[in-house]
Amino acid sequence: MSKAFRQESSSVEVREAVMKAMGIDTSPMMYQRDEHSTLREVIIGHTIGAAYPPKGKSTDNFADHIPYLSGDFYDQFEEGQRIPFEAFAPEIVEAYNQLHADMKAAYEAEGVIVNVLEAPTDRQLDYFGWTEGTGYWPVTLASNYQVFGDVLVEMMSSDNILESALAGFQSREVYRKKYQENPNAVWAAMSASAPYDQAADDSDTLFVQGGDIRMLDDKNIIVGVGEATGQEKATSTNLEGAEHFKRMMERFGFTVHIVRFNGDLAFHLDYLFGNIAPNTFAVIEGTFLDGLPEILKDADIIWLPAEDADRAGANVVSLGPDARGQYRVMVPSRRTGPTLVEGLEIRGIRPVEIECEVVASTGGSIRCATLTVARENNTVPESFSS
């Protein structure tokens, strides 16, 4: 990363003004030191062509804990049948369209560049040989990629719900351009999952999803393996995948902490554990099956009630400090998540509220719907460093 980019936000504004006057491109480089520095650029999705994962054993983990899909929803379909949003859940299309519009407006109001995905091509939809396309999930994207410092980790095909992977192709073009612009960047791809019959089982193979991975700071990463009652396999990221990810990221200087989390509460860890500010996190009660991880023993934690898991209470995106140094976090609205909003305000952190109650019941919310491209390399203020 260039020395010019690794400066505090106040000097960045001056640098950008000078560069703009000289006709130089000022778009931020792909970089994320942590998940609470000033957010500069993101990617969000759409509902065009969206379809639920098809009925089958490999989707049981996904469907069982999601209120909208639990119960008898899948009873009306045959195995492998396409389930487009617009035909079977038009209200979800409306809710996600509103979520994306609200998030785009909020991000831009806070000075964040927003990239919106384009519609998929036929070739992309048929990448895995699904001639009729059994599913496509472009509404929530965070499982596909994550940026750790200058390292872009691609997780498209290590996903146990491959419908999520297809949406990664459009995101990839944004990252590809950023990768080419940054000579210090590394593009690392996780191993693809072994072929398996989605209508029968998910076999023994490697699964890793970005929804189970959070950066704690510039050196520590936490990756969760979800365990749910009555399910032999992990909800999403499995132990083999977590260990594979750990070995890879430790080569880049990170320490990776593997934890077990309560898969009865959520499919992914990012529904239960959210980054707020330096050493400050939002956590749903009952998340960690082995108790609070040692790395979090001294953290400032905003504890949220277990029922907030269904409202995606911890599925948040930290916007980092604004020009005045105040931290901001994009969160579910006060109406559905009062505990978190009140916890932020007590700490002098400004909540940027988004209405997301309906989409939270379908398996994705604010953090799920956001791919980070770039953040500033802010200095951690003394008020958060103790």
Distance of alpha carbon 80 from alpha carbon 82, whole angstroms: 6
Dihedral of CA atoms 227, 34, 331, 30 in degrees, nearest 10, equals -110
pLDDT at 23: 54
Residues 6+ apart with CB under 8 A from 331: 316, 337, 340, 341, 344, 351, 352, 353, 354, 366
CB 193 within 8 A of CB 128: no
Distance of alpha carbon 234 from alpha carbon 203, whole angstroms: 12
Q: What is the pTM of this model?
A: 0.90
pLDDT at 113: 96
Distance of alpha carbon 166 from alpha carbon 124, whole angstroms: 7
pLDDT at 5: 28
Task: Judge whether residue 6 has pLDDT over 60.
Answer: no
Query: Range with the lowest mean pLDDT among 186-200, 288-302, 325-339?
Result: 186-200
Write down the H helix ranges in the chain.
Answer: 9-21, 60-64, 85-88, 90-109, 122-125, 162-166, 168-181, 239-250, 338-346, 357-360, 382-385
Task: Judge whether residue 233 has pLDDT over 80.
Answer: yes
Task: Judge whether residue 17 has pLDDT over 90.
Answer: no
pLDDT at 3: 32
Q: Identify the band that residue 341 occupies on the pLDDT scale cut at 50, 70 and 90.
A: very high
Dihedral of CA atoms 73, 52, 306, 143 in degrees, nearest 10, equals 160
pLDDT at 160: 80
pLDDT at 299: 97
Task: Judge whether residue 37 has pLDDT over 60.
Answer: yes
What mean pLDDT is predicted for residues 276-297? Answer: 97
- Top mean pLDDT of 42-51, 128-137, 228-237, 241-250 is at 241-250
What mean pLDDT is predicted for residues 95-106? Answer: 96
CB 373 within 8 A of CB 361: no
pLDDT at 70: 73
- Top mean pLDDT of 7-16, 47-56, 334-343 is at 334-343
Task: Judge whether residue 24 has pLDDT over 70.
Answer: no
Query: Range with the lowest mean pLDDT among 150-159, 214-223, 343-352?
Result: 150-159
Higher-confidence residue: 241 or 17?
241
CB 371 within 8 A of CB 42: yes
Distance of alpha carbon 232 from alpha carbon 254, whole angstroms: 30
Which pLDDT tens digit goes with each residue over 167-207? 888 899 999 999 999 889 999 999 888 877 666 666 778 99
Task: Judge whether residue 101 has pLDDT over 60.
Answer: yes
Higher-confidence residue: 276 or 194?
276
At 291, which amino acid appears?
Answer: G
Higher-confidence residue: 337 or 16?
337
Distance of alpha carbon 62 from alpha carbon 159, whole angstroms: 12
Higher-confidence residue: 83 or 224?
224
Task: Judge whether residue 276 has pLDDT over 90.
Answer: yes
Strands (E), the chain: 39-44, 51-52, 83-84, 113-116, 145-148, 151-154, 186-189, 213-215, 220-227, 255-262, 273-277, 280-284, 300-304, 317-321, 327-332, 350-354, 371-375
CB 258 within 8 A of CB 246: yes
- Domains of the chain from N-terminus onward: 9-385 (3.75.10.10)
Distance of alpha carbon 311 from alpha carbon 307, whole angstroms: 7
pLDDT at 133: 55
Q: Which residue shows structure tokens 């929803």? A: 73
Mean pLDDT value across the chain: 87
Distance of alpha carbon 345 from alpha carbon 52, whole angstroms: 37
The percent of residues above 70 in pLDDT, for the chain, comes to 88
Q: Identify the band that residue 11 occupies on the pLDDT scale cut at 50, 70 and 90.
A: very low
